[in-house]
């Protein structure tokens, strides 16, 4: 058995090293690939490490089964799929191998010299945290199939992977790794080759800043941890994080090299030299007291270092705003840097960095921080595959939910596509495997305070969706996962929709369960796509539709096995017309089937029925305008507030107690 995708087949995946992170990498591979029958081999020269790694993986899988994270069949398959061994022979012929053994260059090169003989066709990657791929793979027999894939603690749960190709890495190998990691549930970001890559200099730089504050007596270790959590939004403070990851020795080496390779401010302070004991850190329920003056001093220093480090990395050109924003927030579990600077004010952020640099020799003030306007943070990403523009909505934390910023970026992107003479068609998709778009951002909806605000928000979203529909070029929607609410409505604006095969939930309009109605065209386009009677039932019940049913209804044209984006690109190139939807008024049936809507709001249903019936009796443009007015009316009901409160409380696991008013 095997896993096939993006031009490669995986039958055996190897992990060399069964220490701190190797078993966790293997656990993630097992979770993702065991259902396809892929074997995962964990190899280490130390029998004790093998036994420890096997016990660690089994314990985590069993705990996952107990909590319901893994179904019993999957848990058994995961344990059965992983072989822990001191023998190198089972790695022979492996298709992908991740080295997670050591940051010792001699050991890495020895491992890869052996692997290149045993696995001549494999992609060979190193889970190095610092070393450049050109250094690790210097002299490699097949450098085109080598690169760094840097995981973060804990590797089975932390979604980020830095994909760092070397100067000799084949572009097809880098492309495969980016697509593969996304397909198995990770968030890969491509990073240029530089010592430490993009994320670790921030993690280790903040630790250094905290350590210097403690050495200077500004506050205790526990107090600094506490302030860091509050001031930077960290899940745990820098000292606690260092204890959890066991990275003190590695950080010491990293700081030595950063001093020469990034900026002179980096150094190994006295309290870090020869340190082996855990750092002082507060217990789980321990209360830490910090007076306001100390809090302010420590917070300002840490924020200044954070902004300065992020700016330096951006200036270095090894990554971009979108990837760095997502990478830091995901890997380090902290406030995203550019949104934080925008919120504080970019002038104030620059002032903090300049103030810190003036008092701390060798600290750089990045040129990118001197721009007075807020940072633009892309979450709608465009790449061109020849003459086809591929547009991806990437907000993995919210399953690609649509907020005002996304709508604005979508409209701008498709307006640019419309004007681009090199582009003949476009593909619209979402990041990841779970969702194309999970719907409108619930926080955005909750902020609506009046019918007028609701109607304005609806029309704002309508204009973005119409930019897709009216760009004058064919647009294929590649439904990589579910499309709910605003996501389903966005997909309807495309010329053609295809979906990943076998989706249990392909699309749906769950707005009635929230006490609202569709506001981005669903009441007008769905009847034109699947027929009035079918749309009538789907819209009013808020139920979801599988890919199989969606294909029968005509909502999607095909279910796709394999690379859905590549399939969409091929379809887009062969489409001749930009839009196929009926734009004139629809014939509204004199009699429609009775629909059972309990326990939904009768008040909201009355507004929804009017939006469908009266809107569809008009041409499409007028119907969309009418839908926005009706959406605003629904926002003025008591049931809208009840529905949203119920969502925040139960995530729709229980029906809302609507009062029908």
489 counts as catalytic: yes
Give the model's pLDDT for residue 311.
98
Which token pair is 514? 């929230």
Among the options 329, 511, 627, 633, which is catalytic?
511
| Domain 3-190 classification at class level | alpha beta
pTM over 0.85: yes
* Cα–Cα dist 637/659, whole Å: 10
Tokens 């139960």 locate to 650
* Cα–Cα dist 149/141, whole Å: 19
The per-residue DSSP string of 44-70 comes to -S-HHHHHHHHHHHHHHHHHHHHHTSS
* Cα–Cα dist 640/539, whole Å: 16
How buried is 610 (Cβ within 10 angstroms: 0-12 exposed, 13-18 middle, 19+ buried)? Answer: middle
SS3 assignment, position 543: coil
Q: Which of 610, 508, 599, 608 is nearest to 553 (CA)?
A: 508
Q: Which of 329, 327, 331, 309 is nearest to 319 (CA)?
A: 327
Largest CA distance in the chain: 84
How buried is 88 (Cβ within 10 angstroms: 0-12 exposed, 13-18 middle, 19+ buried)? Answer: middle
Using an 8 Å Cβ cutoff, are 620 and 582 in contact?
A: yes
Which token pair is 596? 């059972």
* Cα–Cα dist 75/655, whole Å: 32
SS3 assignment, position 74: helix
Tokens 């034109």 locate to 528
The dihedrals phi and psi of 4, each to the nearest 5 degrees, come to: -125, 135
State the fold for domain 380-650.
2-enoyl-CoA Hydratase; Chain A, domain 1 (3.90.226)
* Cα–Cα dist 59/56, whole Å: 5
How far apart, in Å, are the Cα atoms of 356 and each of 182, 214, 362?
A: 38, 16, 10
Give the model's pLDDT for residue 590.
87
* Cα–Cα dist 518/512, whole Å: 8
| Local structure of residue 280 (DSSP, 8 states) | P
Give the model's pLDDT for residue 69.
93
Strands 160-165 and 82-85: unpaired
Helices (H), 470-601: 486-492, 511-514, 522-530, 532-541, 547-553, 564-574
Give the model's pLDDT for residue 372.
86
How many CB atoms lie under 10 A from the CB of residue 325?
A: 23
* Cα–Cα dist 498/436, whole Å: 11
* Cα–Cα dist 428/430, whole Å: 7
Which token pair is 545? 């539709």
Specify the DSSP element, H or E, that contains 146.
Answer: strand 146-151
Q: Is the peptide bond before 154 cis (omega within 30 degrees of 0)?
A: yes
Strands 544-545 and 507-508: antiparallel
The per-residue DSSP string of 78-106 comes to HHHHEEEES-SGGGTT-SEEEE-S-S-HH
132 counts as catalytic: no
Q: Give the domain ranges of the chain.
A: 3-190, 200-370, 380-650
How buried is 328 (Cβ within 10 angstroms: 0-12 exposed, 13-18 middle, 19+ buried)? Answer: buried
Using an 8 Å Cβ cutoff, are 79 and 106 in contact?
A: no
Can you state the angle between helices 22-33 and 47-67, rounded to 10 degrees? 50
pLDDT tens digit string along 236-254? 999 999 999 888 999 999 9
Give the model's pLDDT for residue 521.
98
The reply to whether domains 3-190 and 200-370 share a CATH topology is no
* Cα–Cα dist 13/11, whole Å: 7
Which token pair is 187? 């968030």
How many CB atoms lie under 10 A from the CB of residue 346?
A: 19
Can you state the angle between helices 337-344 and 321-332, rounded to 10 degrees? 100
Beta-ladder partners of 478: 429, 498
What is the torsional sign of CA 258, 260, 262, 265?
Answer: positive
Give the model's pLDDT for residue 85.
98
Strands 435-437 and 482-484: parallel
Using an 8 Å Cβ cutoff, are 165 and 147 in contact?
A: yes
* Cα–Cα dist 149/129, whole Å: 9
| Local structure of residue 167 (DSSP, 8 states) | T
Among the options 99, 312, 325, 489, which is catalytic?
489
How far apart, in Å, are the Cα atoms of 130 and each of 127, 246, 526?
A: 9, 16, 51
Residues 6 or more apart whose CB falls under 8 angstroms from that of 103 comprise: 128, 129, 130, 131, 250, 253
| Local structure of residue 270 (DSSP, 8 states) | G
Tokens 């009418």 locate to 626
Low pLDDT (below 70) residues in the chain: none
Taking phi over 0 as left and psi of -120 to 50 as alpha, with beta for the rest, 37 belongs to left
CATH number of this structure's domain 200-370: 1.10.1040.50
């Amino acid at each position: 058995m095997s896993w096939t995708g993006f031009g490669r087949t995986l039958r055996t995946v190897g992990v060399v090293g069964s220490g701190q992170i190797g078993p966790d990498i293997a656990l993630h591979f097992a979770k993702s690939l065991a259902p396809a029958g892929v074997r995962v081999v964990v190899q280490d020269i130390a029998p004790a490490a093998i036994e420890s790694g096997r016990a660690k993986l089994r314990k985590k899988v069993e705990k996952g089964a107990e909590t319901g994270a893994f179904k019993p069949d999957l848990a058994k398959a995961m344990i059965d799929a992983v072989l822990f061994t001191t023998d190198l022979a089972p790695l022979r012929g492996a298709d992908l191998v991740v080295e997670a053994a050591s940051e010792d260059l001699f050991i890495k090169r020895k491992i890869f010299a052996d692997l290149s003989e045993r696995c001549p066709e494999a992609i060979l990657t190193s889970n190095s945290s610092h070393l450049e791929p050109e250094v690790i793979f210097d002299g490699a027999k097949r450098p085109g199939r080598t690169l760094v894939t840097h995981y973060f603690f804990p590797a089975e749960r932390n979604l980020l992977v830095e994909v760092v190709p070397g100067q000799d890495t084949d572009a097809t190998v880098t492309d495969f790794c980016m697509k593969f990691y996304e397909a198995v549930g990770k968030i890969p970001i491509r990073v240029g080759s530089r010592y430490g890559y993009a994320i670790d200099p921030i993690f280790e730089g903040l630790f250094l800043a905290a350590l210097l504050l403690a050495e200077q007596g500004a506050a205790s270790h526990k107090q600094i941890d506490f302030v860091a959590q509050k001031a930077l939004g960290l899940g745990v403070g820098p000292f606690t994080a260092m204890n959890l990851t066991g990275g003190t020795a590695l950080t010491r080496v990293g700081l030595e090299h950063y001093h020469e390779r990034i900026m002179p401010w980096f150094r190994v302070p006295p309290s870090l030299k020869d340190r082996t004991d855990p750092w002082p850190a507060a217990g789980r329920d321990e209360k830490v007291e910090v007076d306001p003056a100390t809090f302010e001093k420590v917070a300002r220093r840490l924020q200044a270092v954070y902004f300065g480090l992020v700016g330096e990395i951006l200036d270095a050109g090894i990554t971009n705003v979108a990837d760095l924003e997502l990478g830091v927030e995901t890997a380090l579990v902290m406030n995203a840097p550019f949104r934080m600077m925008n919120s504080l004010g970019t002038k104030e952020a620059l002032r903090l960095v300049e103030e810190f640099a003036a008092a701390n020799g060798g600290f750089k003030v990045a040129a990118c921080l001197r721009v007075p306007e807020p940072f633009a943070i892309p979450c709608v990403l465009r790449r061109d595959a020849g003459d086809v523009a591929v547009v991806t909505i990437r907000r993995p934390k919210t399953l690609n939910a649509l907020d005002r910023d996304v709508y604005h970026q979508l409209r701008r992107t498709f307006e640019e596509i419309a004007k681009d003479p090199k582009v003949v068609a476009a593909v619209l998709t979402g990041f990841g495997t779970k969702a194309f778009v999970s719907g409108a951002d619930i926080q955005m909806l909750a902020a609506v305070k009046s019918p007028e605000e609701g109607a304005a928000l609806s029309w704002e979203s309508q204009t973005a969706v119409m930019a897709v529909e009216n760009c004058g070029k064919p647009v294929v929607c590649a439904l990589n996962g579910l499309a709910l609410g605003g996501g389903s409505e966005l997909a309807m604006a495309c010329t053609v929709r295809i979906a990943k095969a076998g989706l249990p939930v392909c699309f749906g309009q769950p707005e009635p369960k929230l006490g609202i109605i569709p506001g981005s065209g669903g009441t007008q386009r769905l009847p034109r796509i699947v027929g009035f009677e079918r749309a009538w039932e789907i819209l009013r019940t808020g139920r979801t539709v599988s890919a199989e049913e969606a294909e029968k209804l005509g909502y999607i044209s095909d279910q796709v096995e394999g690379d859905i984006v590549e399939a969409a690109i091929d379809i887009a190139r062969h489409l001749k017309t930009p839009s196929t939807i009926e734009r004139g008024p629809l014939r509204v049936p004199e009699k429609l089937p009775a629909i059972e809507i309990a326990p939904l709001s009768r008040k909201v249903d009355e507004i929804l029925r009017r939006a469908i019936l009266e809107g569809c009796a008009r041409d499409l443009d007028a119907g969309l305008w009418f839908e926005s007015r009706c959406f605003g009316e629904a926002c003025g009901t008591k049931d809208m507030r009840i529905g949203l409160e119920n969502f925040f409380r139960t995530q729709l696991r229980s029906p809302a107690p609507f009062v029908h008013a």
